[in-house]
Amino acid sequence: MKDSLAAHLDLATGFRAPGAKERATFLRRIGEYIETLGDELIQVCHEESKLPINRLRGERARTVNQLAMFADLIEEGSWVDARIDTAQPERKPIPSVTPSHLSSGGRRDCSSHSGHQHAQSNFPPADR
């Protein structure tokens, strides 16, 4: 199993920037390979982790399914969220809604004359 894994890792190092179809195929092949390892993979994982055999079979199925779903997503392409923003020469900058003389950080507690700085928070002050 180690020789086979090493051969696949060598393959992965040459996998720099292929297209979506190649990436999806690669992920599906990884899933297929995981399945071909069969009970040998499950047994090694059980010996190393002491997790129950049925749980490991479920984890293998989940992993293979996630690889297939990710391959489908890569092929479908919406994850790229490609947009083309065209110039709008007539557009004016949006004015700031926060007056420039106000700070966006903590506030000075003017009511107590103590001069304490309070940060914005959902928690009550600890000194009260």
Residue 124 lies in a domain: no
Task: Report pLDDT for 58.
Answer: 96
Residue 27 lies in a domain: yes
pLDDT in tens, 73-107: 999 988 888 888 888 888 888 777 766 655 555 55
Residue 57 is part of which domain span?
A: 22-77
To the question of pTM greater than 0.85 for the whole model, the response is no
Residue 61 lies in a domain: yes
For 54, how many CA atoms within 13 A lie in the half-sphere containing its CB?
A: 0
Residue 56 lies in a domain: yes
Residue 12 lies in a domain: no
Residue 44 lies in a domain: yes
Residue 4 lies in a domain: no
In the chain, the number of structural domains is 1
pLDDT in tens, 26-81: 999 999 999 999 999 999 999 999 999 999 999 999 999 999 999 999 999 888 88
Residue 35 lies in a domain: yes
Burial of 83 (0-12, 13-18, 19+ CB in 10 A): exposed
